[in-house]
Structure 1
């Protein structure tokens, strides 16, 4: 799937949650005890609000339609017979609600699944044993329309990709920014590491996406890995 950069802008949309607004979250997991635990953890944060829960794909589609969340925290396994039913749901949700941020939260650590989730519109991927601080950071990043991965998911994704395309022409600075993107860092964190402004990082990210023919930051990492750039 190849998308143009204009299809999914990097900058925050007008209807994205502002700095003081609550991030509205729907939890999708087939285990009630997991949803209860996530709700308890997330609602300790002043800026996070769980507005709905679902155990099945059908329930999730209905709850999202009714509650209009900013984020869906999505498990990939929603039934005993299919380990990746959540992938299909991810595609449905992002197709029906283009402004929705889907963050996969699952037990499956597989680079192919990470890539497939990205292809279906997910903005992030973290494993369930991630610590609370990292999970909250990822939710806030996705709410800002950034991509977010825990370190193991990012590594699994990179390792699963083979260099198969001609190497695009990226500057040394763009390559440095790209390497930080592969670790799931925000623009602010990349700027701090490379000693450049957040605005400059955004400029480089947009150029990277354009040169790689990527529509999202995560897809840029994927395309770069295929090309052997990282």
Structure 2
């Protein structure tokens, strides 16, 4: 049935018919996904083909259902406000034709730029009205881009902002974590090395990515090396 929500790894995924836009919803809150499905299933040209609550689920769902659009939050866990940035980069690299539209509560100038650099085609905040969200989905599905007024303004501010020396922004602990990233350590290994939890290590890694304006651990090491943070 068109618009029937499907939970990844549990039910048979839905499919988009001819002329319909298949959408994968990625948000760690089930109630948000349910609300979005209720809104989107009213539109005859939009169909939710799958849902995901994490990066791993999202990657599997894209491979399985081949959506046209991924409508995703940036915060997919309690330990990071921008895990979705890395997911966005992974998805767009693996599936160049995929349209990623960010729907989030976070509106930070550099975060908007990072999402765009990671391949996102649009960025809207969660208090956008229903008609604007639906229009944004349709615009991205047609190969365009979509930003609400505040996101567009944030993007312009971010582009015009003077460069900031990241070395002045990383804390001592974050610099320690960056050095361990350069040695190829996982979050678990970093936690053991620094006597902190794996979740805390992941939180520090997320902060490092955000502050350096990158979307992957490898890019963080590269940028950290250029800034002389690796000794």
Measured against the shorter chain, the TM-score band is: 0.5 to 0.7
CA distance in 2 between counterparts of 1:75 and 1:126 reads 10
In structure 2, the partner of 1:14 is: none
Equivalent of 1:111, from 109, 112, 123? 109
Give the unaligned 5+ runs of structure 2.
1-15, 163-231
Q: How many Å separate the matches in 2 of 1:30 and 1:112?
A: 23
Alignment of 1:21-100 (within 5 A): 21-100=19-98
Aligned-pair CA distance for 1:142: 0.2
Distance 1:97 1:134 in 2: 26
TM-score (structure 1 length as normaliser): 0.62
1:163 to 1:130, Cα distance in 2 relative to 1, 3 A? closer
Q: TM-score, normalised by structure 2?
A: 0.62
Deviation at 1:110, TM superposition (A): 1.1
Shift of 1:157: 1.1
Q: Which runs of 5+ in 1 are unaligned?
A: 1-16, 165-230
Structure 1 stretches of 4+ moved >3 Å: none
Shift of 1:163: 7.2
Could you list the per-position Cα deviations for residues 27-48 of structure 1 after superposition, in whole angstroms to 9, with x for gaps in the alignment?
0000000000000000100100
Distance 1:58 1:163, change over 3 A: closer
1:174 is matched with none
Who wins on radius of gyration, i.e. which is larger? 2
Aligned to 2:141: 143
The higher relative CO (CA closer than 8 Å, separation ≥ 6) is in: 1
CA 163–79 in structure 1, closer or farther in 2 if over 3 Å, else same: closer
Deviations 1:188-209 (A, max 9, x none): xxxxxxxxxxxxxxxxxxxxxx
Aligned residues: CA RMSD: 1.6
